[in-house]
Amino acid sequence: MALLSVKGVNKRFGGLQALGDVNLDVAENTCHAIIGPNGAGKSTLLNVLVGKLIPDSGSVVFDGQSVLGRKPHEINQMGISRVFQTPEIFADLSVMENMLIPCFAKRDGAFRMHAIESVRHESDMIEKAEAMLDEVKMLDKREMTASSMSRGDKRRLEMAMCLVQEPRLLLLDEPTAGMARADTENTIELLKTIRKERGVTMAIIEHDMNVVFSLAERITVLAQGTPLVEDTPDNIKGHPKVREAYLGEAQV
């Protein structure tokens, strides 16, 4: 049974059919990549999954519950975390504070007036945050202001912030976009480790074929808002339809 199941989703922006009858199943404990040329509707689909956009028709079911009509924070509380194309972190806060916020959100829910308790005394949360920072090898940067870090470290931090909530599904929106080659390699390694050690289900939107083929266990190719084909990476590489729509122009 699929963890995330998208059925017959349509979305129009004026005259543009951004998504046309999208069907997609993300199975538990896999890394599912969604690829496609520019304007294929990848980002629109992602925004539907996180509650930022509401589709005109169709259904999106996560773990047996519909996500449609729920707000982004409710969808997060269901167990879906999102990594953005440009890292979205709390830039003015320290790395440790950045980590503590998702810890509190996971424990206390969407809102809690814990105004008198001291952060220093939240040793459980601090331990959890430190363990996660250690896992992404950022423990030595815990007191740094997040904005002063490199792009790669910001991406690492954002990933750690998502993972510390132990999400059932991690959505990644072009996690290596605009990154230097070394940072890209690091990110791939990080994602591989996370995938192997934590067994977290991932859905990844990516342009970089290198990233896609080193991570994905299942690939859906989207073209003009419609899924063209869904298969394993090996089969996708040689698929004539895919070559025609997309891979013909990319180097594999």
Partner 1 sequence: MLGLTKQDSKLMLIVIGLVVFAPFILNPFPEGSAMAQFNAGYPDLMQRFVIFGIFAIGFNLLFGLTGYLSFGHAAFLGVGSYAAIWSLKLITLNVLPGIVFAIIVAGAFSFVVGYVSLRRSGIYFSILTLAFAQMSYALAYSVLTPITGGETGLQIKNTDNPLIGGPTDGSIGRANLFGAEMGNSFELNIGSWLFTFNLGYYIAAAFMLVAFYLSIRIFRSPFGIMLRAVKSNQQRMNYTGLTPKRYTLSAFVISGMFAGLAGGLMVAMDTQVGPERMFWTASGEVVIMTILGGAGTLLGPVLGAGFIKYMENIVSKINKDILHEWFAFMPDGLEDAMVAFVYPFIGKGWHLTLGIMFMLVVIFLPGGLVEGGQRIAAKFRRTKNAETPDGASKPAE
Among 206, 200, 236, smallest CA distance to 218 is for 236
Binding test (CB under 8 A) with partner 1, winner from 40, 105, 132, 215: 105
Q: Is residue 111 part of the contact set for partner 1 (CB under 8 A)?
A: yes
User: Of 43, 44, 47, 76, which one interacts with partner 1 (CB under 8 A)?
Assistant: 76
Is residue 114 a contact residue for partner 1 (CB under 8 A)? yes
Residue 16 β-bridge partners: 13
Q: Are 94 and 116 in contact (CB under 8 A)?
A: no
**Rounded to whole angstroms, how far apart are CA atoms 14 and 236?**
32
CA distance 244 to 179: 28
Helix H or strand E encompassing 187:
helix 181-198
Retrieve residue 105's tokens.
């959100």
CB of 195 to partner 1, least distance (A): 21
Return d(Cα 28, Cα 2) in angstroms, integer: 6
Which member of 2, 10, 90, 233 binds partner 1 (CB under 8 A)? 90
Give me the residues paired with residue 157 across strands. none
Determine which residue in the list 14, 115, 197, 248 makes contact with partner 1, applying CB under 8 A: 115
The one among 71, 137, 151, 241 contacting partner 1 by CB under 8 A: 71
Site string for partner 1, 145-184 (x = CB under 8 A): ----------------x---x-------------------
Residues 120-139 that bind partner 1 (CB under 8 A): 120-122
Q: What is the DSSP-derived secondary structure letter of residue 112?
A: -
Binding site for partner 1 (CB under 8 A): 50, 71-74, 76-77, 81-82, 84, 88-93, 97, 100-102, 104-106, 108-122, 161, 165
